[in-house]
C-alpha cells in the first residue's frame, strides 16, 4: 500500500521528531516564513519582524510596532505555526518580544524570546537575544532549550550594511545534564540604494542543516505597496509575497514554493510606520 506524501507529513512527523529533539539545534517553531524574516540588514525595514535574523536591527527601531503571522506549510493545517512580535522603544535602544506556537496534539512546540538592540557607535549596532523553546510529544517528557544570541550590524556606507549573529543552544531540565549544542552562525549584507527597493544576502550555518544561503529583494512600486521575493537553499527554494499598507496597518500575503511538496501560504498583519510617511 502506497502512503501519500501528505499523509506521512501530517502524522509521521509527530513520531519522527521526538527522538530528534534531544539533538536538534532549533525547533520548527523558532523559524519564520522567509517573507517576514527578511530585511534585518536593510536599514529602512522597521516592522515588528525586522530583527528576526539579527537582533541588532532593533537599534534602528525608534517607534513601537506589533505583528502577527500564521503559516500553513505545504497547505497542511496540522503543521501550522504562528508568531507574534512586539517592538518597544527604550531610552537607549529598543527591546523586542516574540512568542510562537507550532504543531497540533499530540505534538506541540512553543517559543518565547526577548531581544535588545542599541547603537554602540555611529556605524555599529549591537544586539542580544535570549529565547526559550519547548517541544513535547504526549505522553513523553518535554524537551526544553535555552538559546543565547549576540549580534552586530556595521553601517559600511549610507547604502550598505553588513553583520552577523551567533547563537548557542543548551538543553535544560530533564534527569541528566546536557552540554551546549554547537554554535549557529549567520551573516548578511543589505543594500539600500533608494526607498523604492533594496536587496540582501544572508549565509548561515547550523549543526542540523549545514550551510545555507538566501538572496532577497524588496520593491515598493507605490508607497502603500510592498513586494518581497527571494531564493533560498536548504528549504523551499522560492518565496514571494505582497504587502498593502492602510495608514499604520499592513496586510501581507505570501507563500514559499517547494519543488515537490508545493505551496506554504502565510498571512500576516502588522502595525507599523509607512515608509516615507
pLDDT digits (tens, 9 = 90+) for 244-266: 999 889 999 999 988 888 888 99
pTM for the structure as a whole: 0.83
pLDDT digits (tens, 9 = 90+) for 133-146: 888 887 777 888 89
Query: What number is the average pLDDT over the span 239-246?
Result: 95
| DSSP secondary structure letters along the chain | -PPPHHHIIIIIHHHHHHHHTTT-SS-GGG---HHHHTTTT-TT--STTTTSS-GGGGGG--S-EEEEEEE-GGG-GGG-EEEEEEEEE-SSSEEEEEEEEEEETTEEEEEEEEEEEEEEETTEEEEEEEEEEEEEETTSPPEEEEEEEEEEEEE-SSSEEEEEEEEEEEEE-SSS--PPPPPEEEEEEEEEEETTEEEEEEEEEETTTEEEEEEEEEEEEETTEEEEEEEESSS-SEEEEEEEEETTEEEEEEEEEETTTEEEEEEEEEE-PPTT-
* Domains in the chain: boundaries: 5-72+80-206
Amino acid at each position: 500500500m502506497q502512503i501519500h506524501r501528505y499523509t506521512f507529513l501530517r502524522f509521521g512527523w509527530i513520531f519522527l521528531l521526538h527522538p530528534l529533539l534531544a539533538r536538534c539545534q532549533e525547533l520548527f517553531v523558532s523559524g519564520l516564513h522567509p517573507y517576514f524574516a527578511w530585511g534585518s540588514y536593510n536599514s529602512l525595514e522597521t516592522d515588528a519582524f525586522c530583527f528576526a535574523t539579527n537582533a541588532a536591527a532593533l537599534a534602528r527601531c525608534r517607534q513601537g510596532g506589533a505583528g502577527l503571522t500564521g503559516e500553513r506549510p505545504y497547505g497542511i493545517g496540522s503543521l501550522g505555526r504562528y508568531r507574534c512580535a512586539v517592538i518597544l522603544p527604550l531610552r537607549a535602544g529598543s527591546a523586542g518580544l516574540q512568542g510562537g506556537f507550532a504543531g497540533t496534539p499530540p505534538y506541540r512546540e512553543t517559543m518565547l524570546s526577548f531581544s535588545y538592540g542599541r547603537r554602540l557607535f555611529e556605524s555599529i549596532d549591537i544586539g542580544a537575544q535570549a529565547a526559550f523553546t519547548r517541544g513535547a510529544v504526549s505522553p513523553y517528557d518535554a524537551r526544553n532549550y535555552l538559546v543565547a544570541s549576540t549580534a552586530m550590524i556595521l553601517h559600511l556606507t549610507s547604502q550598505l550594511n553588513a553583520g552577523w549573529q551567533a547563537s548557542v543552544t543548551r538543553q535544560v531540565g530533564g534527569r541528566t545534564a546536557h552540554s551546549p549544542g554547537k554554535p549557529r552562525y549567520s551573516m548578511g549584507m543589505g543594500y539600500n540604494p533608494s526607498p523604492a527597493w533594496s536587496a540582501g544576502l544572508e549565509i548561515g550555518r547550523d549543526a542540523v542543516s549545514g550551510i545555507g544561503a538566501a538572496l532577497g529583494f524588496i520593491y515598493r512600486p507605490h508607497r502603500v505597496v510592498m513586494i518581497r521575493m527571494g531564493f533560498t537553499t536548504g528549504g523551499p527554494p522560492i518565496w514571494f509575497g505582497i504587502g498593502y499598507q492602510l495608514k499604520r496597518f499592513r496586510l501581507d500575503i505570501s507563500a514559499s514554493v517547494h519543488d515537490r511538496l508545493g505551496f506554504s501560504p502565510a498571512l500576516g498583519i502588522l502595525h507599523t510606520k509607512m515608509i516615507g510617511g
